[in-house]
Structure 1
Amino acid sequence: MASPEVSDEDLVARFPGEPITHDNAAQYRGRLRRELLMNRCEDCGRWHAPAKPVCPDCWSWRVSAEPVSGDGEIYLAIFLHRGPDAPGVDYSTPYPVVTVELAEQEGLRFTSTVVGAGNDAIRIGAPVSLTWIDRAGVPLPVFELRDPR
């Protein structure tokens, strides 16, 4: 388990090619602990993504990265037939990319992939849960269908 005290330099080195900024570094540190973190306003309670230093609803600067359950429903699904080379991605079978609306709040969404299910089972509205895989030596948050039929 990775220490939460990973330096900024080490964090950038662990996630090469990722757009790590001061606004989202806490989310990437969370990934090292296998926690999916999203920003939440300490004043109005609204969740928001992507990570920003100010709440887009009430303009409070009191936002912090908090864990989400990872439960939700598929909001959007696409199947890539081609794409950039990535460890663990095989385009010979169309590769699923999904945006999940998380249970914490309407409109709070996270994009990743679905594992452990055939493409024909991946449908908009399907309930999913968060799980983790390792890709290129770092934890990657992904989803699995709750009922993979």
Structure 2
Amino acid sequence: MTTDISDEELVARFPGEPITHDNAAHYRGRLRRQLLLNRCDDCGRWHAPPKPVCPDCWSWRVAAQPVSGDGEIFMAIFLHRGPAVPGVDYSTPYPVVTVELAEQEGLRFTSTVVGADNAAIRIGAPVRLAWIERNGVPLPVFELKESV
């Protein structure tokens, strides 16, 4: 799967996603199964969601860089209903988690946890990055470390 695709092709690969100049690198990274978040080249601070300017030092020298995907659950909710999405079954509450990533305190990414009973998904649980396919493209998700 190539990631040297035009902006138009990128938008076509992720229909319905709000792809912008600021987050296109994130979506290209997903095609390589690599979670990319923005980091300032001047002060070294990570930040998400992507912005063209570092919110800490106001530098314009920000670039999408890979993160490990290791972290711990900062917040968890369980959806009993929601929009119809391929691969999402609300007959069992669907977990949505925000993970604080190991790279930096306060750096968080929201997705879901796969391969675990909902009772095991709790705040503070250690997780690692995993990938699933949804709508024909890679989606970053998390797995509990103790269940892997």
Q: CA deviation at 1:4?
A: 2.5
Post-superposition offset of 1:72: 0.1
Query: Partners in 1 of 2:39 and 2:145 — Cα distance?
Result: 26
In the alignment, the residues of structure 1 paired with residue 80 and residue 43 of structure 2 have an alpha-carbon distance, to the nearest angstrom, of 42
Return 5+ residue gaps in structure 2 as ranges: none
With normalisation by structure 1, the TM-score equals 0.98
Give the aligned partner of residue 91 of structure 2. Answer: 92
Residues 1:36 and 2:50 are matched in the alignment? no
The answer to whether residue 138 in structure 2 is matched with residue 139 in structure 1 is yes
Aligned position for 1:27 = 26
Q: Which moved more, 1:43-52 or 1:3-12?
A: 3-12
Deviation of the 1:3 alpha carbon: 2.0
Task: For 1:64-75, list aligned pairs within 5 A.
Answer: 64-75=63-74
Matched, 1:8 2:23: no
Give me the CA root mean square deviation.
1.0
Contact 1:133–1:142 at 8 Å: present in 2 too? yes
Taking the aligned partners of 1:32 and 1:3, their CA distance within structure 2 comes to 8
Residue aligned with 1:106, SS: coil
Using the alignment, how far apart are the partners of 2:17 and 2:78 within structure 1? Answer: 22
| Match in the other structure for 1:113 | 112
Preserved contact between residue 129 and residue 146 of structure 1 (Cα < 8 Å): yes
The residue type equivalent to 2:89 in the other structure is D
Q: Secondary structure at the match of 1:129?
A: strand
Amino acid at match of 1:90: D
Quote the offset at 1:78 in angstroms.
0.2
Aligned partner of residue 106 in structure 2, secondary structure = coil
Query: What corresponds to 2:51 in structure 1?
Result: 52
Task: Please tell me the residue identity of whatever aligns with 1:62.
Answer: R
**Which consecutive unaligned segments of at least 5 residues does structure 1 have?**
none
CA distance in 2, matches of 1:117, 1:6: 35
Runs of 4+ aligned residues of structure 1 deviating over 3 Å after TM superposition are none
Q: Distance in 2 between matches of 1:12 and 1:83?
A: 24
Cα deviation for residue 6 of structure 1 reads 1.2
AA aligned opposite 2:47: H
**1:104-144: CA deviation from partner (whole Å, max 9, x where unpaired):** 00000000000000000000000000000000100000000
Distance in 2 of aligned mates of 1:118 and 1:134: 20
